[in-house]
Structure 1
Amino acid sequence: MKYLDQLNRNVELEHTPKRIVSLVPSQTELLVDLGLENDLVGVTKFCVHPNHLRKQKTIVGGTKQIHLNKIKALRPDIILCNKEENTKEIIRDLEDVAPIHISDVDTIEDCLELIKMYGTIFNSSKKASELIEAIKTERQKFQSALQSTSKKKVAYFIWKNPWMVAASNTFINTMINEAGFSNVFESEARYPEIDLEDSKLKEADLIFLSSEPYPFKTKDIEGFREQFPLKDISIVDGEMFSWYGSRLLKSFKYFKETFY
């Protein structure tokens, strides 16, 4: 059987995979929600949802560094990766171990496409279709509620020392817009390093400090308030802005309850 992944690479499988290694936390959560938990044999140390998974499955490293021998020993039928989360070196090292499916998710449509792909590959199309429809429903409900709301401008910080923000061509930027905001750094690409004197910060109504990948804390809010006393500064749940897959069902509810 031949499939295309989201980089238009051919993925050849002899049968429906029953031994899956996932190197992407949000994709691990998605597999569980598609009813494939029993088929997961290896996950990363960052695969925290559901929280019992790391006690029951083999931890094969992180998203940037893996234990190659552990993955080989699991004899996987397929390894699931992501263009942004995993490195080219990881992909190269794993090519001789098992077929690799690589996702590339920047938009909601990319996310829905990935869910459909997994439904097909893992013989879980019914659950995948139900999940896709549920996400579309939650998205539409939220968008309808936003129609009379004006967009506030946001700066979304993901890192400290150096300061880094989310800009265009990222799933975070997509979710900032989905949440009803505009990103003051949207004219820049990916995750630029910035200075707190950057003129774009002056445009922001809100400053969001993400809970991941850098774990911003309350003391960081206090530091920002010294420099930006008139701005609304808060820590936001990074998973709701950066995790795709089944997490989207929770994201739209989180946006409504937190910001509106």
Structure 2
Amino acid sequence: MAFTKLSDDYGDDCWQLSDAAFRLHTEALIWQARRLLDCRIPKSDLRHLKRGEPAVVQELLARGFWSDYGDSYVILHHSQYQRTRESVVAQQTRNQMNGKKGGRRPSSGGAREVWPRPVATPTPTQMGTQNETQSETQLGLRGFQGSETAEMKFPVNTRDKNPDGNPLGNPEGMAFKRSSTPTGPSEIGVNGPLALDPDAWPTDEEGLRWRIVCEDKNVMTVEGLMAVCAELKTENQARNALHRAYPGRVF
């Protein structure tokens, strides 16, 4: 089971949204976590959400909470707190391996349902239009002046973007780079914001093997790993093994 993560200031960020938009945005975060969609909601999935009407979606787009990306919507606001598909699969693999070794028991509920990630097919016109409609109140970082009415007009400021073309409320372009080139101390392991987690699990088989060795032997130093693993002849070999086991740490 994948959980949706909300920070303690989530409500403050969403204060300028209407009740319908707040519900749709929150349900979409839960839906993408349940289906492992990496914050990308296929437009056909809106029928599963309570307030998926076009007018409500347009409010989220205008305020910069979502982005229209071809045949799907990309969630920008709070995407940096959500677990990626890769990290969830790595956790499942670790649990299975622990269960085979007599540790944590495997789930009796069978394999977790994993839906395929939708492939976005944006057009130049769609991308250009979206870049021109980001709200000046990106993700709650700016105040909204005036009361909301039935004829609400959403302010637009195309200058409020970072060098990558993403809104200021999404400073690192999290939603667009969650599955890009791996990052980390040794350029291997977990992608995106999870690369900063010192306890992040690796996604490759070799890294998982060394992580299990480190966990079983309770070692996290070059000297300690060399002492329990005869196959490691040099410090560089041990250090590389630790980098693979803990992609978010520096040794």
- Give the shorter-chain TM-score range: under 0.3
- What TM-score do the two structures reach when normalised by structure 2? 0.27
- What TM-score do the two structures reach when normalised by structure 1? 0.27
The higher radius of gyration belongs to: 2
Q: Which has the higher strand share?
A: 1
